[in-house]
Structures are given as C-alpha cells and as structure tokens.
Structure 1
Amino acid sequence: MAAATLKDVAERAGVSIKTVSNVVRGAPRVSETTRTRVMQAVAELGYRPNPSARRLRTGRSGLIALVVPDLATPYFAELAHHVRTEAADLGFTVLIEETQGSATEELRLATGVGASLLDGVILSPLRVSPDELAAVAPEFPLVLLGERSYEGDRVVADHVLIDNVAAAREVTAHLAGLGRTRIAAVGVDRQASATSRQRLEGFQQALHEAGLTYDPRLAPHVKEFDRRNGLQAMRTLAALPVGERPDAVFCFSDLLAVGAQRALHEAGMSVPDDVALASIDGTEEALYSTPSLTSVVPDKSAIASLAVKCLTARIRAEEPLPFELHLAPYWLETRESTVGGRRELPV
C-alpha cells in the first residue's frame, strides 16, 4: 500500500495542502479546530513526513539550529520560543542546542556539525573568537546573536543585536535621574566578556554625563550572570560601611537582579527606598518579582524575526551575500524597583 501524502491528508481533512504543511511543521497561526482535523486525518492515514524526499526535491532539509549558552536562562528560553515561531512561519523546524559557554562547542555547532542535516545555524556565542567565526561563516549559513566580541567596522558574519552600550547608558541615566549618587554595577566579570564590557561602558558613560565618579568598589566581580552571583555581589555591597553603600544598583541581567533583591531583603534594605534596582533582559521574571524590576527590554520577537529571515535569505541565496549587522529595538520598562508604588500585573 502506497504511503499517504500531503495531498491525501488535505483531501481527508478538507483543507489545502499548504494548511496540512503548516500543521505538520507546527506553524502557530492555525486554528485549533483546523489543527485537530488535520491531525486526525494524519492519524487515520498513517501519514509520516519524508525528510529525505524533501532533501532530494529542494536540496534542503528544512531544519535549522538555535545554539545558546544556557536554556535554563529565562532570556534564552523566551528567545527560543520566538525563533521557533518565526521559523515555522517560513517553513523551518528548529533544533535547539546549548553550549554551556564552551568555545569548543560553539565552534563545533557554528560549522553546522551534521551539516548534511542542518540548513543553517543561529548562534549566540560567549567564548569562540572572531577569527574562528570569520573562518567558518563563509562556508555555512550562520547568523550570530548577542554582543559583538570584535571591534571597529569588521563584520565576521551576519549579526543581530541591540545597542548594549546605549541600553546600559539609558538605564543608568534613569537611576541617576532619580537623584541616586552612589550607583553600583553588578555584572563586571573577570573574563571581560563582550556583554560585560559593553554594559560597563554604557554604565560609565552615564555616570560621567551625570557628573558622578566611577568607584570600582561598587562594581564587584561576578563569574556568571545568574541569581547566585547576584546574591553574592549584593551581599558584598551591603557589607560596606553605611555611608559607602550604594543607593542604586544596575544589574547586567535580570537574574543577577533577582539574586541582588534577595541579598537586600536579607540585609533589611528596602527596594526602592534604600536602594533602587534596575537590570537588563526584560524577562517575565522581572515582571513578576517583588517588587517588579525596572528592566531594559530587548525586542525578542524582532530579534528572532531578523535572525530567521537573515538566515533564510542566506540559505536560499544562489550567490554569496555580504555580511550585515542588524540592530533590533529595545525599550526601558520602569517598574516598582526604581519608581516605587504598586502596579497591577496584567491578567
């Protein structure tokens, strides 16, 4: 008996072949009624997609990979959701990998390991060097996310990012505009990652513009951008003599800020009365914390859309395309941790 085809499923479900394809790929913009009808027809006919046939027909597998440092980080989990949604709309299925910040893993996955399977890769690197990326980017469809770890006008691959220096400057200026004069930075790492360097640069620019002096004692080092390191860094700051403690803190990630909130609570210090607290990432964790966190919100939907469309164009291009930088929008959400008051959460 011949294997069922998309056309067979479409006729059984009473929909178009395109609709069946959307349902099978997991595209989000299909009504539940239609999705249920199609999946019932799939089950009745025993339909199974044939990736090998698609590969022979189009020269592509329809699979791309999203490679991030840590899927347990809310920012990357939320970003993965948006990438999957955008990719499904363009006919791609997303495989998700995490590197735990390993340069070896980043480079291995950037080269499209299993390239016979993958059509392209979206990579958020932490450790791999620009020179290594420059060597592999021309050979395989690759789009980078996050901060640039290289300087000047050099572009080693297609890259989607926000202006981290400007974002850090804006949130620090917000704290200074509240009349806070001893503003701490939690997120300076010993490895001098691009994220840390750029957010520190924006922080220092805002201090200078506000007529404030950068005090290294108010910038304790962290190892990772997580809750534990935020807790430890804030404990260090809270242990300073009363007159030397910060009256505001800019955390380089929402997770650092959540840890810092805990340390402030332990020390009996009120947010924002004693210490105004702000961060960057714009995750739901910031919205639902107590008090809710003022945070810079990168437009994750726009980042995902730019990355997937850029990768798609490179996959489908018949001639090599020049590498480009794409700036995604962001905005500052002021919440209870800096302006006080009580705000109702959206239902």
Structure 2
Amino acid sequence: MPQTVKGVIARSKGADVEVVDIVVPDPGPGEAVVKVEACGVCHTDLHYREGGINDEFPFLLGHEAAGTVEAVGEGVTEVEPGDFVILNWRAVCGQCRACAKGQPWYCFATHNAGQKMTLAEGDEMAGAELSPALGIGAFVEKTLVHAGQCTKVDREASAVAAGLLGCGVMAGFGAAVNTGGVTRGDSVAVIGCGGVGDAAIAGASLAGATTVIAVDVDDRKLETARSFGATHTVNSKEKDPVEAIQELTGGNGADVVVEAVGRPETYKQAFYARDLAGTVVLVGVPTPEMEVTLPLLDVFGRGGALKSSWYGDCLPSRDFPMLIDLYRQGRFDLDAFVTERIGLGDVEAAFDKMHGGDVLRSVVVVDEAAAAGGGSPA
C-alpha cells in the first residue's frame, strides 16, 4: 500500500520550503523504500530551491542521507529490508561505455527510481509529481529510490554522520584522493574551506600529504580547517594566495590544488598556485554564466592536469564502507562536520545559516530514535 509521510518541498523558485504530506508508492522492480533517519542540508538543496539546477518544480529536497531499507521491489538483490544504508546519487548501470572500460565512477547512465512520489490529497497541488533532489529526495520520513542508490554500511555508524558521505564529504574527500591522486609526501592546497573543502583537507591528510594549505577569507573557517589536518592557513583577503602557496612550497607551488569554491577568480588562483606538472581539481560547482580565460601558452607551458571532480569520482560500493571503517576506527572524524541537528521544519533556517557561513553541516534528524541507535567510533 502507498504510504503518506511528511517531507520538505520547494514549491516554486525562491519560495520558502514547506513541510507537506507526500505519497510514497510501493517499490517497483529495482526500487527500494528507505526509512530516512538523518539527512544533511547541502548547498545543492538551496540551488534546487533557487531554480539553479532546473525548473522541474515542485522539488522534494534532501539527498545526503542514511537510513534503513523498509521494502524492496522485484529483482532487487543488493539490499534487503533491515539493511542500514547510505543513499547515493550515482547508482552505476554496469553497462555504459564508462562502466565497460572499468571506470564506473564515470557512469553515464546512472539509475533513479522509475516511479514518482506525489503530493497528497488536500494539497493545493494534490497528485503533482515531485522531482527528488539528485534522484533521492530525503528530507522526508520515507523515500523511494533505485535499489542501486542504497549502499549498505555498518549499522554501528551514526546515521547523522554517515549520511554526509552521500554528497559533500565524499565529494571533497574524493576530489583530493580519487581525482587529485594525493599520495605520501605531496603538497596540497585547498581553496575554500566549507564542508567540501574541509573534507578534501581531511582526505589529503589521510593520504599522507605532508603540506596541506587551507585558503579562505574567513579566519573561523581557517581555524576549523586546521582541525581537519591543514598544516598551514592563508587568509586570501590579507595575502595573495598564489604567492603564499608558493612560499609554503619552496617557491614551486603545490602538487595538487583543490578548488572548492567554483568561481573564475579562485580557479585562476588554483591554476597558478600549482607546481609545474601539478594537478588542479575543480570540485566547487560554478553557475551557468561563469567563464574563465587563461593564456593558452600558460596552459601548455605549465603541463600537468586540469580536472573536474564529479562526486569525488567515487564508487559508492567501494568508498562508503571504507570511509565508514575509518570513521569507526577514529581515523576520519565525520562527527566533526556536524554543526547542528535540526528537524524537518528547520530547513529554511538552515539555508539562512548557510548564507552566513555559520555552519559546516546542519543535519535533519528525521528519526531521532533510530539515528541515536548507531554506535560511535571505536
């Protein structure tokens, strides 16, 4: 039987989000219904509300989530009811040209649920199909996803912390480790020290980088970056970041520079702050109108690689369990990314705090009892 649950939607561009009744259908072939325990509030959710992704309103927001599989549809073998899972937005197909080349993290045909959740009777738009954020839609008590979007992990992990791997933390960690290939002895600079940038710093530190330089315009964020493993900090309002990074790397520039802002001016800083034959990784998301101009001779003459990182080039089935293991061992502090726990009715206020730079992550706790049932790091 379809279920009616509470969830957070963006009804129209720029309008405040609302908590409404949503109808969740029974899972069809290849689908799963997941009881959401916790879901992080990500900038991408705000982009959806502002119409910055597309105009397929109304949106069911939320995508950085963990919870328990409640039911599965025909043909599902990867998960079963009772499994504790992190939701991901790149459920690989296994058949496209990227998957066939052994690069499933670049999958070009990722899966979403075939059915749609809808607004319940009594709503002014009753029956309207909802567009789930990144194919997930997890600011809701229960959500319908493709079973491939469910990655089973150890139940001892806190849902509040584990869900953050579903987007921002994985994007940052993977930008450094997977896309940037940071390894022992490398020098790394990260421009932009929000949640994604701090995750890149933590990833670089875990991978063995010996110099990790955090760059931001906010001293509060720079202090937090140190707690994630930054060995040096640069306030780019006070000092030219390119010069500062070069000074801290023997005049050479960093081996890997992660740009976690997504703006032309910071991308140029990243380009010139890397060493010859170094790597630039763009993980900050630009807006459609942004353009960057670089002398082609500099692009040629400096060599190296200019890369974009999609979801940290992660493979959820490989990376999520590994990072949860590191969390349980006390080696990767996911809890440190959680600034506050909030309810479904507090998402709009969380967006306001995001604008002010006051939080790394607000996390919506949908099921307090279940989310509290996870263990803590060993």
Higher normalized helix content (fraction of residues)? 1
TM-score, normalised with respect to structure 1:
0.34
Higher normalized strand content (fraction of residues)? 2
Larger-Rg structure: 1
TM-score, normalised with respect to structure 2:
0.32
Which protein has greater RCO, CA pairs closer than 8 Å, 6+ apart? 2
